[in-house]
Structure 1
């Protein structure tokens, strides 16, 4: 009771706000308010998976301009709130642990950031998403397995082919033993054309992974 009183008192003077709508959170809410959870554009189970050549992918939400999930991902990536990624991973993992082929994964591998961007941001948002998935799905992670050894240009104004070409040689494997002979669940924040996931999966499969599937927080429309 005392802890509840102190929490409420602190919230009165230093209110924590929702990452999706910036309204003050009430007791029992964590990072994202109940209203935002209700209105987030969850991708229906029948539409969650898609094939990207060699890998099957699934995304938690549809990503639309000026939407709550766009604001949440912005907070995760650019406003020093990596814990949002962990929360989203825990929520999504509770669904994926009942779904084939994702429940069959042996290890979870996040898409890495280039060292320059990692130093600037201070953390890899996909790694925190992977941690949340790991907790819910009870699967180990291999955080340093993939390395992004070449900085890539912005993908925003590139064609689909140019995006694939831009990402083709951006990644290499640092720890082959972490994925050799295993089913890998590759993790990223947003799925656009799939160029990043394709490039990473090619490296993983070439190094000995027996299967690679992928999940992301959101899928761009």
Structure 2
């Protein structure tokens, strides 16, 4: 019955591609086949180069880092992230999380992850948006790895200006962190910290520093996109 209702609704209001707005065909979800094939996938490329690791050099000890896609200010990836964050399209987080989760499940670098933790958003922004844009992404990655996901380990106690709106000089300010531990986790765990887009690495660095205050914690990171 539910499938019949869904089919009827899709007939009246067909789902459209989040990349180009054309109607999706049977078997397509979130993106049409063309848009998905044209996505600038970063995952395999980042295994061979140190582009992401360079962001954290001499700032914080990291075991493994990866990102699913390359992010540019104009293009399909930008549209996806914008729709996820500002247009209530939370299913995009699921789409990216399931995709990256399936890749990480066969990647020996992430075989010993114990816990997936989300970068938090400030409570005001959470009320406005209705959800943390990283939650579904993190849940799906945790499912792929067969480990627990914790959304509320970290809290953001100051509503900062978006990193994308700051120049390089202000982005690099790491002296006053708005992040703190809100829920304790066990010691000696390999934590996979997840976020949407890594630009300068400041947000992830500050969050990782809080987690590293817990004895024996090791940090790896995964994001939907890495800015180019």
TM-score, normalization by structure 1 = 0.90
Q: Decide which of 98, 116, 125 is 2:106's aligned counterpart.
A: 98
Measure how far apart 1:7 and its partner are: 5.2
In structure 2, relative to structure 1, the CA distance for the partners of 1:168 and 1:198 (3 Å cut) is farther
Query: Helix, strand or coil: the match of 2:212?
Result: helix
- Listed one character per residue, the Cα deviations across residues 156-202 of structure 1 (whole Å, up to 9, x for unaligned) are 353445223257411000122x2421000000000100000000000
Larger mean CA deviation between 100-109 and 141-150 belongs to: 100-109
Measure how far apart 1:143 and its partner are: 1.2
For the pair 1:180 / 2:179, whether they are aligned, the reply is no
Q: Name stretches of at least 5 consecutive residues in structure 1 with no aligned partner.
A: none
Measure how far apart 1:138 and its partner are: 1.4
Count of residues paired in the alignment = 219
Query: Helix, strand or coil: the match of 1:156?
Result: helix
Equivalent residue runs for 1:43-192 within 5 Å: 43-48=42-47, 50-51=52-53, 52-53=56-57, 54-55=61-62, 56-165=64-173, 168-176=176-184, 178-192=185-199
1:26, 1:218 → 2: CA distance? 26
- Listed one character per residue, the Cα deviations across residues 99-128 of structure 1 (whole Å, up to 9, x for unaligned) are 243232100000000001101111001111
Q: Name stretches of at least 5 consecutive residues in structure 2 with no aligned partner.
A: none
Measure how far apart 1:6 and its partner are: 6.3
1:14, 1:167 → 2: CA distance? 49
Alignment RMSD (CA, Å) = 2.1
